[in-house]
Structure 1
Amino acid sequence: MKYDFTTKLNRAGSGSLKWDAMYQINPQVMPDVVPLSVADMEFKMPPELTEGLKQHLDTAVLGYTGPTPAFTDAVQHWMLKRHNWHIKPEWVIPIAGVVPAIFHAVRAFTEPGDGVIVLTPVYYPFFRAVQSQGRNAARCPLHEDNGQYTIDFGTLARLAADPHNKALLFCSPHNPVGRVWKKEELQKIQEIVLEHNLYLFSDEIHFDIIMPGTEHTVFQSLSDELAERTITFTAPTKTFNIAGLGISNIIIKNEKMRTRFVEEQDKGSGTLFTALSYKACEICYTQCSAWLDEFLSVIDSNQRLVQRFFQTRHPEIKAPLIQGTYLQWLDFRALGMEYKALEQFMTHTAQVFLDEGYIFGEEGRGFERINLAAPASVLTETLERLSNSLTKLKH
């Protein structure tokens, strides 16, 4: 192994939001506990990124900085190389984050009282982006069968036919259930979107994090007609754990939609002026592919470690393998706990800090989402601590 995916980090006191949240939830937490909640890696940064930024700082002036040709070239090349997706420079709108971009899209292309379709359980800021802005979340629950999730196309078609619903806010790969949608599934959704003239907001922030043997299709690449109605949300932040640098790339082919989105952006966060963010994205996309490839093998190994653990020690708890993201969806419903009692058991009895399933919608009650982007030793320590508490619970 060329890169360091084994060192256990201690981010206490560093300002890490998820570490601070752990201490707020349980101030008595033991000193060796690592939170495996928010999608924020517990790995060292790619050394190429660290060294590249150091070299950049030797000559950089950190004033107001916009995208450079080198940055745009890196984004274009990455999309082509990793996703076989041809984009043009003018399609790329840099912004501080995917979540604010989703807020902008909802405001720009829907009106108060309109509906936005979401496939639940789903990444919880989706609900905020819709409901906090006076829109309605039209819920289309995914079908779950023994840990495997599929789309309810009948319900989706019915919701799309409702003239009050103006957009589909889609998650691909799906967070939290870890599905990578098959091309055939996307084609069915495309038919529904086009038939009912919906806007498609496709959050593909995890699209670089695909498990071996699985293939991700960029949704808007299915057809030019679909691309003309689509906003695709991408970023290097999840892929390389640089969310703290605030750089995302929103891809909009349709010029009128692009103009409308930028106008809405200018009402809020405005243009991104961040020298280190542009450079970090450029370095990641041009120098860190080997790190990413090794990272993906580590995540696949870690998810199998988690699955084996529960199959062997606590088979009533289900840990299906994921196809994408580095977030595994764990089913604790067999414990028969009310979802708030489960949260209390996890955070205070077991001192295991995952993301509670209920935050992703009512369909997530009884589930937990574990962050696999941590050394295997950290996962093992966490699972052993959980196992001890589960054993006591059963007796």
Structure 2
Amino acid sequence: MKEFTNSVNRRNTSSMKWDRMDRIYGIENTEDLLPMWIADMDFAAPEPVLEALRDRLEHGVFGYSYVCEDCKDAIREWLLKKHDWQTENDWMLSHHGVVPAIASVVETLTSEGDGILITPPVYPPFSSIPILQKRNLVECILIEKEGSYEIDFEKFEESLQKDVRLFIFCNPHNPGGIVWKEDDLKEVVRLCAKYDVLILSDEIHADLIFAPYKHSPLHVVAGDEANRIITCVAPTKTFNLAGIQAAMMIIPDEDLREQLRDNGMAHGQMELNAFANAALKAAYRHGEPWLEKLLQTVSDNMDYVIENVTAAVPGVSITKPQGTYLLWIDYKGTGLSEEEMMDKLLNKGKLALEPGTKYGEAGRGYLRMNVATPLSTVQEGVQRFITAMND
């Protein structure tokens, strides 16, 4: 699996992960910092995707493009094969990413002052987008239990009664790495239907699941309530194509779909560029063997971090995620504040991880570490973590 052992020099490539740490962490010189923070990989994309991009480049003409039926077929076939989800091409609307898709849904289907429900700790745009659009953010904090999280359904129902119009759901969960159980998904749908709340299900991590766990699309378990669900999917997280900017909203309800289509037209941003089309189709048609190797690599990397960090650093515990390539590291047992922990990591260990409060106050006492990188980098990151924590 040499494609997952070779290190690629990403510095000076306009990489957010490698070249913007000065702005993110407020450190002038970041040349000696090792970034294991933002959720993109240090692996090259699958070779079939690279070949498709080369072919598109060699064509030499880059006029206006659109998402062809063949692209939609590739998405539909992938979702059916990987997740037993039967979709239709007509349900799909393209967008430049899941985050801008979330913004479109909030803007289109809610109004200023409407309640938007989230379940922290959770991906930061789930809170920042509603707040910036002057919506009322309603939080139902997840229950922390044995290194994982559960939904507090009693509080969830109470939250839905606070003039909530939309629930933004992270399925699978980032940063916790939870693959939600079908019974939990059904209860989410039941309660949202009871209070006539729409659901935006962010399923960008759906392909990054470790056996024996299996992702359940919310639409599949929703039954008669499927029309209240808007699902966001993308090849970008799965195949390390975030810079290509390609996502799909899957919207079975025609009225909701037309409203979102009109919103896209109003902002002039509906179709994908020529390279995004080529990459998307190649990834879904030919990327599965690469993905299988990636998952094994990430799983092994996680095992390495968990074994070595927890053995060397008292007070740190890590539960292996069920999905994603992100570790959620619990350091509450060290007694360190977040400020103290980040100071040790950045200034002593020279290691850039994400502080848990980026995911809401419920994330205090945690760090997020990205291990989608060669083992040599993981080993270096572990050593830096241990160095940071040595007195």
TM-score tier after normalising by the smaller chain length:
over 0.9
Matching residue of 1:306: 305
Does the aligned pair in 2 maintain the 1:342–1:366 contact within 8 Å?
Answer: no
Matching residue of 1:83: 83
Q: Runs of 5+ in structure 1 lacking a partner? A: none
Structure 1 segments (4+ residues) deviating >3 Å: 27-31
Matches within 5 A, 1:339-354: 339-354=338-353
Distance in 1 (alpha carbons) for counterparts of 2:358 and 2:139? 15
Matching residue of 2:139: 139
Matches within 5 A, 1:1-395: 1=1, 3-24=2-23, 25=25, 26-31=27-32, 33-59=33-59, 61-162=61-162, 164-392=163-391
Distance in 2 (alpha carbons) for counterparts of 1:30 and 1:59? 38
Distance in 2 (alpha carbons) for counterparts of 1:49 and 1:206? 19
Distance in 2 (alpha carbons) for counterparts of 1:343 and 1:112? 36
> Would the alpha carbon gap of residues 153 and 269 (structure 1) be closer, same or farther in structure 2, given more than 3 Å must change?
farther
Q: Secondary structure at the match of 1:76?
A: helix
Distance in 2 (alpha carbons) for counterparts of 1:9 and 1:95? 29
Offset, 1:341: 2.6
Distance in 2 (alpha carbons) for counterparts of 1:210 and 1:123? 18
Offset, 1:57: 2.6
Alignment TM-score, normalising by the size of structure 2: 0.96
Does the aligned pair in 1 maintain the 2:246–2:272 contact within 8 Å?
Answer: no
Offset, 1:297: 0.9
Does the aligned pair in 1 maintain the 2:314–2:334 contact within 8 Å?
Answer: no
Distance in 1 (alpha carbons) for counterparts of 2:58 and 2:7? 30
Does the aligned pair in 2 maintain the 1:201–1:230 contact within 8 Å?
Answer: yes
Offset, 1:338: 2.2
User: What is the one-letter code of the residue matched to 1:65?
Assistant: S
Q: Secondary structure at the match of 1:216?
A: coil
Distance in 1 (alpha carbons) for counterparts of 2:388 and 2:117? 39
Alignment TM-score, normalising by the size of structure 1: 0.95
User: What is the one-letter code of the residue matched to 1:120?
Assistant: P
Distance in 1 (alpha carbons) for counterparts of 2:296 and 2:218? 25
Identity of counterpart residues, as a percentage? 32
Q: Runs of 5+ in structure 2 lacking a partner? A: none
RMSD in angstroms over aligned alpha carbons?
1.4
Offset, 1:118: 0.3
Offset, 1:45: 1.8
Q: Secondary structure at the match of 1:120?
A: coil
User: What is the one-letter code of the residue matched to 1:147?
Assistant: G
Offset, 1:224: 4.1
User: What is the one-letter code of the residue matched to 1:387?
Assistant: I
Distance in 2 (alpha carbons) for counterparts of 1:273 and 1:200? 25
Distance in 1 (alpha carbons) for counterparts of 2:272 and 2:47? 25
> Would the alpha carbon gap of residues 342 and 311 (structure 1) be closer, same or farther in structure 2, given more than 3 Å must change?
closer
Summarize deviations over 1:62-109 as a string: whole Å, max 9, x none. 111001122111111111111111111110101101101101111111
Q: Secondary structure at the match of 2:20?
A: helix
Offset, 1:222: 1.3
Offset, 1:184: 1.0
Residue range with higher mean Cα deviation, 258-267 or 127-136: 258-267
